Structure 1
Amino acid sequence: MVQSRELAARFEAYSDWRRRLSAGISGLHEWLSQQELADAQADLKIQHLLERLHQDKLVIAFVAEFSRGKSELINAIFFADFGQRLLPSSAGRTTMCPTELLYDPTRPPSIRLLPIETRAKDGSVAEFKNYADEWVTLALDLSSADKMSQVLSQVSQTKRVPVALARKYGLHDDGGNVLAPLSAADQGAVDIPCWRHAVINFPHPLLQQGLVILDTPGLNAIGTEPELTLNLLPNAHAILFILAADAGVTRTDIDVWQNHLVGVDPATKAGRLVVLNKIDGLWDELKSGDEIEAEIARQVKNSAQTLAIPPAQVFAVSAQKALLAKVNGDDALLAKSRLPQLEQALSEELIPAKRDIVGTATRTEIRTLAATVRSILDARSAGIQEQLAELRGLRGKNQDVVEHMMERIKQEKDLFERGMQRYTALRTVFTQQTNALYESIGLETLREAAGGTRKRIEDSPFTKGVRTAMSDFFATIRGNIEQSAQKTLEIHDMMQAMYTRFANEHGLEPFTPPPFSMLKYQKEIDRLERAYNVHFNTLWNMVSKAKFTLMKR
């Protein structure tokens, strides 16, 4: 179990590095305050930086069709030290709703469950997280593994409802492509998940240090679980895509991989690991060890070629045997399960990459802050040197010194008052431009555009009307972003002129305010539009998918 300990040790080292970094930034802030070098802007910047470090999470998502062993893999990697399965794992489907495993010290150990009935309301899962009364909360008894398992089994619960109700929740369309009748004797009913989303708050050491695990329902599952699952994936720092070792890459696997995991941005392949699970199904006592190894190697090679990734990103494992080996302390079986190689990849690639990202962002912020402080110190130094030169020139001329100082104070007072007048005028203009900017990209503007589009889709009886509504929506949002980009450029130019004039009047070093780029928002709209074109903007999808599903997405 060396690799398991190494994974925990590396994560602990990352958390310790993050704590030391936060302590260093706090010390810097204290020193700046003592030296009167921290203005309101610097205080706000440091506060935001410390909050980001404190709330920093490392998100790992487990994605696959059902019955690929996702939950078992999570149990084997993270929870084997409990001596039994923490997450439910058995034949068939065990995770019926997206499940987040994390630790929030402000909440007791518990599982929070969002009822499936909330799908009839407008609102995303993220929005519902702000309303505790919408969730069902069940406490976790940490002293009893059996009781915990019983409570956590809620994520696998389903219930039978009429087709009409399932359709209301967006879990069934007229073509029957999402749900199917249970049996000939039950043609009017279908099974749906009891819960829309689950959040497990559990004091595991890795979760306490900021790890967040996403256990997803099967991507070929009934209902709109894929829709819910795929909304979470963009926020994951790494995704483990689990396949069956005996079947390899299926058609559904390819569709999910290309359309949802790497199809839009091939650069994201670096954060994707593919797991060929259940290699114990290939352990055949009638075959030699070399033959079994060759068969596993062939499956790894074929899977890598099909998904267009290096074979080094494909790991063949047996999660069930690995869990059994860890519980029983069987090092030989653990090595045979090959899970240590996957754990090593997570510890050596994922965590250092996350540290590099956080470190780069922090260095950028600190360098900007240092440049501001340096400008303040340079201004102070220049002012002191100027005053010192004047005093030396007036040495021995007390009356002249007093008169000169009085005149200098009067000039500085006049200069200050003129500066305040200009500042007030510029602040008024800045406020007006900022308000105009909010009108272009504010949340209310976005809600109005989305609401208008939903209404047009609801009222449109034909595919063309739906397509036109969506095209107009993306065009409107893109136009608002372009308009906002122009406004931010105007604000930047105005601030640049103000800084330049201030620097010239006071003999300061020239300072260029950092520009605000709308590029990432433009790219996000492009990504959403591509996703819409892939999943909906085809004749077949427009005909086969219910308008409810489109509007929810």
Structure 2
Amino acid sequence: MSYKVETHNFLQDLDRIFKVRQEIADYLETISETLTTAESAAAEASGKLGLDQEIADIGIAGKNLRQGAFRLLILGDMKRGKSTFLNALIGENLLPSDVNPCTALLTILKFGAERRVTVHFNDGKPPEQIDFKLFKQRYTIDPQEAKQLEQQQQQAFPDVSHAVVEYPLPLLEKGVEIVDSPGLNDTEARNELSLGYINNCHAILFVLRASQPCTLAERRYLENYIKDRGLSVFFLINAWDQVKEGLIDSDDSEELEEAESKLRKVFHTNLVDYCQVDGQDTYDERVFEVSAIQALRRRIKDASASLEGTGFPEFMGALNTFLTQERAIAEFRQSRTLSRQANLRVQQAVERRIPLLGQDVEELKQRISSVEPEFTKLSQIRDEFCDEIRRMRDRKARAIADSFRTYVLSLENTFEQDFLRYQPSDLQFLDFFSESKREQFNRSAQQGFQQYVNDKFFAWTLTAEKDLESAFAELSQSAARHGASYTGVTDQITEKLTGQDIQTRLNLSGEDDTTPGWAKWAMGLFSLAGGNLAGAALAATGFDFKSILLNLVATWGITLLFAPILGPFGILLAGLGVGALQANDARKQFAKAIKKELVKHLPQIAQEQWQPIYSAVQECFDSYDREVAKRIDEDIQSRKAELDNLLQQKETREINRDAELARLRSLEATIADQSQRVEVAYQSLLS
């Protein structure tokens, strides 16, 4: 990639985006405050305009934007130089890199004026604040202990959920949060922990090592947890400078070129499948050869030092483009949609209100009565769309639950071949008959079986995700159609009330549309899910069904479904009478023995889990249905309240038409101005 960015320029670009984020948040807060003040003042004037939903949405969006951050998740095996890379990225030797930090702690680095660490627990205990030195001492263990825990399939700190490290660093101050995950090659529990946070992050930085190109554990993780999930992944091949150190003659440029060329082919072969975005090959924009230790040494001496030759300028250039353009534009587009929506709603409400100010009470009552049939039509549109959601729910819930049952029952068909690669590789099968190695064999076999089960079931969740994506894409199109019908009816209401076509009076730009706010939410044009790293996933669209599905898988404890099989595997081997067999034959016989046990339990597992899956998929659609119905109901009620408020005011007091006209026009102008400011800030990112 030719585009390069040095550290100081990277920080400057992040600072620019950070300022735009705060600027747009200010505009949104001004809109929310203006609407709130106007509705309060309206109680003593011509009555409220029914803008509660706009106030709530804009307020939440402004808060989310102000508190928002670019969240990067660091993944990779142990001994890949993750900590060194992170230290080089943040520009300070913050994380321990002289030992392997093999803990079950997922650590979030975020900006704080003072250095402090907060440890969060999952057993009900309140969070604990400790100093940085104690955090390193208490939650970092040596490699030998980590290996032992791995073999025993235990977590080092099972009662700890995650830790938050606050630190006054320039990168973090610009709105970047870094999530440092446990290694991939220790326990399945840790792999599941990392997976639970993947959807919370905007980009994944996957750290590999040049001297160990794409191990089985790395390929397994990429294939099962990353591929085809629509994630933004950057691959960092660390310690690239060590390629030269491995040559017989480190000064031989031809030998170095040949060695690097061969290594690049290996990585390309292994990674290219994970660099496909919408059918496009993004390998050159997503894979980078870096030397973290060289970059760190330079930055420790001089935070603004040139990192030329370390691979960091190329990587930071790609990350810069992603964060400050692709991601920032997507984030701010939602704010733009909401500000436009508020502006349109205010214009419509004001244009409805003004012609009604001069009508007397009886005339107003007659006009309100005349639009009752149209309000009934709005409710019918709501019911039709919700019925469609429920039909889709019932169809998809059954289809996905059935697919799970079929999938589980089919595991026996390919088990023997599939399981061969998960069997213990560090032991000869005949060593099992050595009592001292028997327990080690059992642990290795159990770990292999857990990996097999996890891989198979996360492969199934990908299929389920695709089915749900297709369903919600279809519902998005339906929301657009129902939204158009809904707008047609609200236009009829306006025409009956005012005797005018409101669209001829609204000052709309060519890009604005009159799609109601509830339909925009249902179409995925904006999201108000804040997202947090304590469990809830960050919604990428208006509705995040993936988090519900992932939470289901997480609560299963996948391998617990197969607990009856996870006994002493050695007993199965001992009963085979394979003492005279070669190891390869023993592996095949062992797989057959496990299959025999597996087949006994598959029908029960398939039957018992059908209902939980059916219910979980139903909940995805029910959550969507509830929010759609709630938003439509609130819109209908606000439109009715808008008329009732005016009628009530007319019945109780004389309305000063000129003063009210000036107030409404002032409100309209203020919201239009703030909305335009959001538009200008958004357009500045595109130029």
Normalised-by-shorter TM-score class: 0.5 to 0.7
- 3-state DSSP of counterpart to 1:193: coil
| Residue of structure 1 equivalent to 2:664 | none
**Residue among 190, 194, 209 paired with 1:244:** 209
Contact 2:214 2:267 in 1 (8 A): yes
Cα deviation code 1:506-548 (max 9, x no counterpart): 135376534253886697399869999xx9899989949999x
| Residue of structure 1 equivalent to 2:190 | 225
2:69 matched to 1:71? no
- Structure 2: tracts of 5 or more residues without a match: 40-48, 276-282, 413-452, 504-513, 525-540, 563-590, 617-687
Structure 1 residues 378 and 433: alpha-carbon distance in aligned structure 2, compared to 1, 3 A threshold:
same
Question: Could you tell me how far 1:27 is from its partner in structure 2?
Answer: 3.7
Question: Could you tell me how far 1:233 is from its partner in structure 2?
Answer: 1.0
Once residues 293 and 137 of structure 1 are traced to their aligned partners in structure 2, the CA distance between those partners, rounded to angstroms, is 52
Once residues 164 and 198 of structure 2 are traced to their aligned partners in structure 1, the CA distance between those partners, rounded to angstroms, is 18
- 3-state DSSP of counterpart to 1:218: coil
Once residues 259 and 86 of structure 1 are traced to their aligned partners in structure 2, the CA distance between those partners, rounded to angstroms, is 32
Cα deviation code 1:291-311 (max 9, x no counterpart): 435534542343123211423
Cα deviation code 1:178-226 (max 9, x no counterpart): 9425xxxxxxxx7631254322231334334432211111111135100
Once residues 525 and 200 of structure 1 are traced to their aligned partners in structure 2, the CA distance between those partners, rounded to angstroms, is 22
Structure 1 residues 343 and 152: alpha-carbon distance in aligned structure 2, compared to 1, 3 A threshold:
farther
Structure 1 residues 153 and 69: alpha-carbon distance in aligned structure 2, compared to 1, 3 A threshold:
farther
2:119 matched to 1:112? yes
Once residues 252 and 137 of structure 2 are traced to their aligned partners in structure 1, the CA distance between those partners, rounded to angstroms, is 38
Contact 1:64 1:219 in 2 (8 A): yes
Cα deviation code 1:360-390 (max 9, x no counterpart): 2122222222222232343356568xx6xxx
Map of 1:34-433 to 2, 5 A cutoff?
Answer: 39-80=51-92, 85-103=93-111, 109-114=116-121, 118=123, 133-135=124-126, 137-140=128-131, 148-157=132-141, 179-180=150-151, 192-195=155-158, 196-204=160-168, 205-261=170-226, 263-265=227-229, 267-268=230-231, 271-284=232-245, 286-288=249-251, 290=253, 291-292=255-256, 295-308=259-272, 309=275, 310-329=283-302, 334-380=307-353, 408-416=360-368
Once residues 221 and 100 of structure 2 are traced to their aligned partners in structure 1, the CA distance between those partners, rounded to angstroms, is 20
Question: Could you tell me how far 1:139 is from its partner in structure 2?
Answer: 2.5
- 3-state DSSP of counterpart to 1:59: strand
- 3-state DSSP of counterpart to 2:331: helix
2:462 matched to 1:502? no
Would you say how many aligned residue pairs link Structure 1 and Structure 2? 455
Once residues 332 and 40 of structure 1 are traced to their aligned partners in structure 2, the CA distance between those partners, rounded to angstroms, is 52
Question: Could you tell me how far 1:49 is from its partner in structure 2?
Answer: 1.9
**Percent sequence identity over aligned pairs:** 17
**Residue among 497, 509, 516 paired with 1:513:** 516
Once residues 409 and 333 of structure 1 are traced to their aligned partners in structure 2, the CA distance between those partners, rounded to angstroms, is 75
Structure 1 residues 159 and 439: alpha-carbon distance in aligned structure 2, compared to 1, 3 A threshold:
farther
**Residue among 523, 539, 546 paired with 1:524:** 546
Once residues 330 and 383 of structure 1 are traced to their aligned partners in structure 2, the CA distance between those partners, rounded to angstroms, is 65
Once residues 33 and 551 of structure 2 are traced to their aligned partners in structure 1, the CA distance between those partners, rounded to angstroms, is 46
Contact 1:88 1:153 in 2 (8 A): no
Once residues 530 and 420 of structure 1 are traced to their aligned partners in structure 2, the CA distance between those partners, rounded to angstroms, is 44
Cα deviation code 1:53-107 (max 9, x no counterpart): 1221211011111111112111111142xxxx311223445444322222478x9
- 3-state DSSP of counterpart to 2:213: coil
Once residues 331 and 50 of structure 1 are traced to their aligned partners in structure 2, the CA distance between those partners, rounded to angstroms, is 34
Once residues 77 and 110 of structure 1 are traced to their aligned partners in structure 2, the CA distance between those partners, rounded to angstroms, is 20
Contact 1:114 1:198 in 2 (8 A): yes
Cα deviation code 1:222-250 (max 9, x no counterpart): 35100101111122111111111112122
Structure 1 residues 92 and 20: alpha-carbon distance in aligned structure 2, compared to 1, 3 A threshold:
closer
Once residues 25 and 187 of structure 2 are traced to their aligned partners in structure 1, the CA distance between those partners, rounded to angstroms, is 45
TM-score (norm. length: structure 1): 0.65
Question: Could you tell me how far 1:331 is from its partner in structure 2?
Answer: 8.8
Where relative contact order (Cα < 8 A, 6+ residues apart) is larger, the structure is 2
Q: Which amino acid aligns with 2:86?
A: I
- 3-state DSSP of counterpart to 1:279: coil
Structure 1 residues 191 and 32: alpha-carbon distance in aligned structure 2, compared to 1, 3 A threshold:
closer
- 3-state DSSP of counterpart to 2:502: coil
Contact 2:91 2:300 in 1 (8 A): no
RMSD between aligned residues: 5.4
Deviates more, 1:21-30 or 1:413-422: 413-422
Contact 1:10 1:351 in 2 (8 A): yes
Contact 2:100 2:142 in 1 (8 A): no
Question: Could you tell me how far 1:25 is from its partner in structure 2?
Answer: 2.8
Contact 1:6 1:347 in 2 (8 A): no
Contact 1:264 1:527 in 2 (8 A): no
Once residues 499 and 348 of structure 1 are traced to their aligned partners in structure 2, the CA distance between those partners, rounded to angstroms, is 42
Question: Could you tell me how far 1:320 is from its partner in structure 2?
Answer: 2.1
- Structure 1: tracts of 5 or more residues without a match: 119-132, 141-147, 162-170, 182-189, 388-404
Contact 1:72 1:320 in 2 (8 A): yes
Structure 1 residues 518 and 377: alpha-carbon distance in aligned structure 2, compared to 1, 3 A threshold:
closer
Structure 1 residues 489 and 244: alpha-carbon distance in aligned structure 2, compared to 1, 3 A threshold:
closer
Question: Could you tell me how far 1:327 is from its partner in structure 2?
Answer: 1.6
Q: Which amino acid aligns with 2:264?
A: V
Once residues 526 and 24 of structure 1 are traced to their aligned partners in structure 2, the CA distance between those partners, rounded to angstroms, is 33
2:15 matched to 1:12? yes
Contact 1:300 1:311 in 2 (8 A): no
Question: Could you tell me how far 1:275 is from its partner in structure 2?
Answer: 0.7
